[in-house]
Every structure is written in structure tokens, then in C-alpha cells.
Amino acid sequence: MTSASQLSRQQLEHAFELFNKVSGQLTDSYAQLQDRIRELSLELAATRSERMRQLAEKERYAHRFAQLLDALPAAVVVLDDLDIVCQFNPAARRLFDSISVGDNWCETSRRNISADQRQDEMTFFTGTVVSYTEQTLAPEPGRILLMLDVTETRQLQNRVERQQRLSEMGQMAAQLAHQIRTPLSSALLYTSHLSRPDLTESQRERFSRRSRRTLLHMEQQINDMLAFSRGGQYESKPVDLNQLLHEMLQMLDPLVAEQGIRLHHSGLLTAAAMTTGNHSALLGAMMNIALNAREHCSEGGTITISLNDAGNDWEMVVSDDGPGVPNEIADRIFDPFFTTRSQGTGLGLAVCQAVALGHRGRVSVDNAPKGGARFHFIVPKATECHPLQQSDNRELIGSAA
């Protein structure tokens, strides 16, 4: 019995020792847990404080950005992926009187912006001219448009260009006075002979024909001068280049036939090839290039006229099988008063360049691989919707000097 009591007592003592040990471990674990909770609370408080600081800083940035947008002289319009207006600033409101959040941008631009546009500039029906850029909102859908009023800048540029043209017209007047004097004297001499009673009918016809030819030459010189002096000031209307080139071919055919030159055309489209500009100015410029080709073609030669689709542009090409353009004069061929012909004024190709630049296009010349000169006259395509829907920008093309 005593042994059993001793064994039970030892077991109890062992149990109490084990309980005390586990209790101590639990106490230590609880203390560690409290310490860890305090650490996490401090970390959470610090993180919350930093988060609140970041949110406050973002709010300050958002407030500053909103103030910047309101004070910005450039118009800003934000569009979603469906081209719906999501946001705009007061400058945009001044440009687009009726703009509202939820408007369709294409419709808004149609109501306010002229159809005659370039891909980095647009003109409003009110006469305001703005340059613009756009940027996607990636990774979010949509884009942001930035438009800056450059009306005053364009007006100043036009004034400078006008002064330059007036200065050049002074040089032109002196040049033309010299050029016109000789054919005018010839015309006066021929017409004075017409009054002689002893002339035969054939002589009278010959003098009349020569007088007419010299007067037409003088008229062409004066027309070139007037066309050059206008620079790029043209009223813009829809022009079908396909129809224009057909008209040009009809006018050109009898002129080249007199010299035994063949006329060939290629690439003319059955559908309309629309641009915006002045039909008469474009036709006159293309005729100048074609007549220049005729002057350099020998009998039996060929002049080829083609119309090509060049992406955002239309390209009209006039090529001949003459001697081509020497490298030493290729850079000067469009300069006013530069000519290689004794009877030329040097204004025909200068007028072509002025017309091209006035239509927001360009003209250039090179030599064809098989020989002969090749002129490239390029104008932008007419667009149905505003070019802001296209993301690419093109280099600005200045006006003719």
C-alpha cells in the first residue's frame, strides 16, 4: 500500500512539474505573441501613415493637374476607345462651343472643323487654325488630344511670305520687262506690216501668225507672273484628280501631236481620286510640267502621265524620254527665274512648286531609270472625317517663297 501511495505521489509531482513547464512555455509564447502583435501594429500604423501620405500627395498632384488643365492655353480633349468625349478643359470649350461629355468626337469635329485639313493642323469654320498632337492612354483604352491655336502665327507667316513675294515681284518685274521687250517689238513690227497694201494674202497670214505667236508668249509670261505672285492663296473645293488628268490629256494631245510626240497615260482610276484645292491652279501646274516635258522631247518621243495611290496622298507623275535633268541643276530647277531656255522666264516650274505647297503637297524631279525626266506632283487625299482619327503626324510643309 505504501509503495502504491509513493508511486501515485511521484506521478502527481511529475504531472505538476510537466504542467508548470508547459504553463511557462505558454506564458513565454503569449509574451512573444504580444510582442509580435505590437511590432505588427507599429508596422501597420507606419504603412497606413505612408499610404495616407501617398494618397494626400496624389490628391495634391491631381489638384495641380486639374488647375494646370484649366489654366493651359491649349485645348485638351480625352476620348475613350469609342471616340466618345470623356473630359475636356476650358480651352477646348472655347474652341468647341457645344462640346459636352458623352459627345461623339467625329460628329463634334464635323460641326466645327473645315474639311480641308492636314494631318497635324486643322482649320475651324470660324477661321481659327490649330496645330494638334495626340497620344494613346495605354495601357488604358482611349487617347488624349492636344490642340494649340496658331492662327496668329500663321497670319504672321503669311505676311512674311507676302513681303517675300512682293520683293521677288520687284525682281520679276525687271526680268519680265527685259523678256517682254523683244517679243513686243516683234509683235509691233509684224502688225505694222499688216497695214501695207502691197502684201499678198500668204504674207499677210504669215505676219498675222507670227504676231499672234509672240503675243501668246507674252500672255504666258504674264500669267506665270500672276500665278507665282498669288503663292498658295486658293479657295479649297473638292477636286477629282482622275477627271483633272483626263481634262489635261485632252488639252495636251493636240499640242504634242504638232511635234510628233506620243502621249501615254497609266494608272488612271475608274473611281474618283479626291483631294481638296483649286481645280484651275492644279490643272495649270500639271500643264506647266507637261509642256516642260514637251520642250525636252524630240520628235517621236513619248510623254507618260500617271496617277498613283500613295497611302495618304495622291501622286501624279509626268515623265518623258528626253535627256533628263543634269545633277548640277536638279536643286535649282524650281527656283524663280531659273531657266535653261533662251525664251523662258524661269517661272513655270516655280509656279508648280507654289501651287503644290499651297495645296499642302510637294513636287520633285528625278531621272527615270531608262532616261528622261520624271516629275512627281503629290497632294493629300481628301478625308471624310477629321484627321485626328489618324495617329501618325507628318512634317510641316512651309509655304512657297
User: Does 37 have pLDDT greater than 80?
Assistant: yes
Residues 350 and 212 both lie in one domain:
no
pLDDT value at residue 398: 28
Confidence of residue 378 (pLDDT cuts 50, 70, 90): very high
Phi-psi category of residue 355: left, alpha or beta, with phi > 0 → left and psi -120 to 50 → alpha: alpha
Residues 290 and 269 both lie in one domain:
yes
User: Does 44 have pLDDT greater than 90?
Assistant: no
Residue 250 maps to a domain: yes
Q: Average pLDDT of 305-322?
A: 89
Residues 302 and 223 both lie in one domain:
no
Whole-angstrom Cα distance, residue 76 to residue 91?
7
Whole-angstrom Cα distance, residue 51 to residue 69?
26
Residues 311 and 266 both lie in one domain:
yes
User: Does 171 have pLDDT greater than 80?
Assistant: no
Query: 133 vs 233, which has greater pLDDT?
Result: 133
Residue 14 maps to a domain: yes
Whole-angstrom Cα distance, residue 313 to residue 273?
10
Residues 385 and 265 both lie in one domain:
yes
Residues 371 and 381 both lie in one domain:
yes
User: Does 160 have pLDDT greater than 90?
Assistant: no
Q: Which domain holds residue 123?
A: 72-149
Residues 365 and 291 both lie in one domain:
yes
Q: Which of 50-64, 66-80, 195-209, 381-395 has the lowest mean pLDDT?
A: 381-395
pLDDT tens sequence across 252-283: 888 888 778 888 887 666 677 889 888 888 88
Residues 400 and 283 both lie in one domain:
yes
Query: Which value, in Å, is the radius of gyration of the alpha carbons in the chain?
Result: 40
pLDDT tens sequence across 199-246: 788 888 887 887 887 787 677 667 766 665 665 555 678 899 988 998
pLDDT value at residue 387: 37
Residue 28 maps to a domain: yes
Residues 285 and 187 both lie in one domain:
no
Last residue of a domain, one of 118, 149, 180: 149
Residue 65 maps to a domain: no
Last residue of a domain, one of 182, 199, 230: 230
pLDDT value at residue 228: 59
User: Does 397 have pLDDT greater than 70?
Assistant: no
Domain of residue 314, CATH code: 3.30.565.10
Q: Before 139, cis peptide (omega within 30)?
A: yes
Q: Average pLDDT of 285-293?
A: 86
The number of distinct structural domains making up the chain is: 4
Residue 262 maps to a domain: yes
Residues 117 and 263 both lie in one domain:
no
Whole-angstrom Cα distance, residue 349 to residue 347?
6
Residues 113 and 258 both lie in one domain:
no
Residue 286 maps to a domain: yes
Residue 199 maps to a domain: yes
Q: Average pLDDT of 16-38?
A: 83
CB 105 within 8 A of CB 79: yes
Last residue of a domain, one of 204, 230, 256: 230
Residue 56 maps to a domain: yes
Whole-angstrom Cα distance, residue 169 to residue 86?
51
pLDDT tens sequence across 334-371: 777 667 665 555 677 887 888 888 888 999 988 887 77
Confidence of residue 65 (pLDDT cuts 50, 70, 90): low
pLDDT value at residue 310: 86
User: Does 317 have pLDDT greater than 90?
Assistant: yes
User: Does 327 have pLDDT greater than 70?
Assistant: yes
pLDDT value at residue 215: 80
pTM score of the predicted model: 0.48
Phi-psi category of residue 277: left, alpha or beta, with phi > 0 → left and psi -120 to 50 → alpha: left
Provide the grid cell at 119.
494631318
Residues 236 and 375 both lie in one domain:
yes
pLDDT value at residue 388: 35
